[in-house]
Amino acid sequence: MTGTTKATFVLVHGPFLGGWGFRRVASWLERAGHRVFTPTLTGIGERAHLLGPDVGLSTHIDDITNVLVYEDLRDVILVGQSYGGMVITGVADRVPERITQLVYVNGHVPTNGRNAMGGLGGTSHKLGEMTGNEGPRLLPPFPFEAMGIHDPADQAWVGPRLSPHPMKCLEEPIVLTRGEPRMPRAYVLGTAREALIAFLKADPLAHFVEKARADGFVFHELPAGLFPMISHPEELGAVLERIASAAR
């Protein structure tokens, strides 16, 4: 760790994990001299006991906005993995003055008025068929192969900690009052998603990747699946370090 903090990262997890999923990446970045926050979204991970029928995308945008405000964070590099891309986009709409860059890790890049599945609201994807009918509707964790987590040691670490994801979060459309975020944006794309595509019978990132390319995002690629913070933490840390260095 260097004597001077280089950058401030807030790492926002996607489905099934919690802030703990970024532990290895956070450690890598901290050793490189960065300040790192890894909050857990309401209703997931160690905050699963807070799950209720009203927990949705807006709740999670509030979660991360409050981290930035109450920790008085500025010049933040805000990172969102998978569904976390929805969250960081909403946070950028709320407090753009606190954010210097957005980074989407296999992330959802939303269009105003649409939800995490690309729809206008309601269930519009195969994912909706995987949930139950009692209590908050939940999306069960994907199989390890679909998540791109192949190492037995990683599976042993991750397996007991996985949480189902509230479907309302995926179905609630995002509302952007300021239009598209204006700060620099980067996309980290995992190129080893074959098992995920086979499981879902479609590439869930295709629409978002297309939008990111059209919007001029800077792209980085990793030979990883949907969850590189688990399978390729050092490689992801190195990409985030490069992004931070380019921003200085």
Residues noted as catalytic = 82
Strand, helix or coil for residue 132: coil
Burial 211-230, CB ≥16 within 10 A → b, else e: bbeeeebeebebebbbbbbb
Q: Which two tokens stand for residue 156?
A: 């042993």
Pairwise CA distance, residues 52 & 118, whole Å: 24
Bridge partner list, 80: 12, 104
Backbone φ, ψ for residue 35 (5° rounding): -95, 130
Contact between 35 and 240 (Cβ < 8 Å):
no
Angle, helices 57-70/84-94, rounded to nearest 10 degrees: 60
Q: Tell me the β-bridge partners of 103.
A: 79, 186
Distance CA 116, CA 231 (A): 24
What is the C-alpha separation between 229 and 4, in angstroms, rounded? 25
Residue listed under structure tokens 């919690």: 18
Element holding 171 (H helix, E strand): helix 167-171
Provide the terminal-to-terminal Cα distance of the chain, rounded to the nearest Å: 18
